[in-house]
Structure 1
Amino acid sequence: MIDFNKILKDNTYGVLATLDGNRPRTRVFQYLFSDDNKVYFGTTNDKPVYAQIQRNPFVSFCSYSKDFSPVLSVSGKAYFVDDITLKARAMEEYPFIKKMYTSPDNPVFEIFYVDVEEIETYSFEEGPRKYKLK
């Protein structure tokens, strides 16, 4: 099995895909941290991405290294969690988040995780690979 958590930690920026009605929407997002098969992200509850995930929680996040080897996509169901400890961790690990939101109890700051069900990778050495976790 591929260590997708390490790949994400080494390549924190990527593209998050959601559905807006029946239309796909993508935006640049930052991976925060992982806990087993849970991949964490942050956003605010006043953005369209928050409403999109509330309506349809199935998302995909794609990240890649500078040489595009590997390209990694993790997909699954997203869950918002109201956990002050996770918000504090995000602020501790990423000072710019603390600068933006000041405190973990900021009412607009939200944390969500993707319960990873499927991983897809591509590398020039190995080609495409798919892993089902659920």
Structure 2
Amino acid sequence: MKEVYDFLKSCQTYYLATVEGDEPKVRPFGTVDIFEDKLYIQTGKVKEVSKQMQANPKIEICAFGGGEWIRIAATAIRDERIEAKQHMLDEYPGLKDRYKVDDDNTEVLYLKDAVATFYSFTTEPRVTKF
């Protein structure tokens, strides 16, 4: 999991895919955090992406950097605890002007049953699960 975290951090931007009905939806994200040995992402509950993940929590993340790319398939699980939200906001202080731990909008989700596959043009794919 730490290797996945490090890769996403180094890329700075990754792309999160959800579904709405039978239509795929993809958008750029940048938040990633490790809290209590789980990999977390962050968004706002008022956003469509949040509603999509609550309706169908199966997601996929993709990122590219340094000649490699990663695809992560997982289930996104909402964590309502203040501690989890605070940890994320402490890691991304720039978000504190838009999000607060108790604002009923800040949403942090951890990745459950994640399967991350690292790819490159020069090596065989490598899979890690967490």
Pairwise same-fold verdict (TM > 0.5): yes
Secondary structure at the aligned position of 1:3 is classed as helix
**Partners in 2 of 1:10 and 1:55 — Cα distance?**
30
The yes-or-no answer on 1:79 pairing with 2:77 is yes
**Partners in 2 of 1:87 and 1:37 — Cα distance?**
15
Secondary structure at the aligned position of 2:6 is classed as helix
The yes-or-no answer on 1:4 pairing with 2:4 is yes
Secondary structure at the aligned position of 1:40 is classed as strand
Q: What runs of 5+ residues in structure 1 fail to find an aligned partner?
A: none
C-alpha spacing 1:35/1:95, structure 2 compared with 1 (3 Å) = closer
C-alpha deviation, 1:132, in angstroms: 5.7
C-alpha deviation, 1:35, in angstroms: 4.8
1:117 to 100, 114, 118: 114
Residue 62 of structure 2 is matched in structure 1 by: 62
**Partners in 2 of 1:70 and 1:37 — Cα distance?**
25
Q: When the two structures are aligned, how many residues end up with a matched partner? A: 130
Normalised TM-score (structure 1): 0.84
Q: What runs of 5+ residues in structure 2 fail to find an aligned partner?
A: none
The yes-or-no answer on 1:126 pairing with 2:120 is no
The yes-or-no answer on 1:107 pairing with 2:123 is no
Question: In structure 1, what residue type is equivalent to 2:55?
Answer: R
**Partners in 2 of 1:111 and 1:51 — Cα distance?**
13
**Partners in 2 of 1:83 and 1:45 — Cα distance?**
14
C-alpha spacing 1:29/1:114, structure 2 compared with 1 (3 Å) = same
2:31–2:92: 8 Å Cα contact kept in structure 1? Answer: no
C-alpha spacing 1:96/1:55, structure 2 compared with 1 (3 Å) = same
1:76–1:118: 8 Å Cα contact kept in structure 2? Answer: yes
1:79–1:114: 8 Å Cα contact kept in structure 2? Answer: yes
Question: In structure 1, what residue type is equivalent to 2:8?
Answer: L
1:12–1:32: 8 Å Cα contact kept in structure 2? Answer: no
Aligned-residue Cα RMSD (Å) equals: 2.2
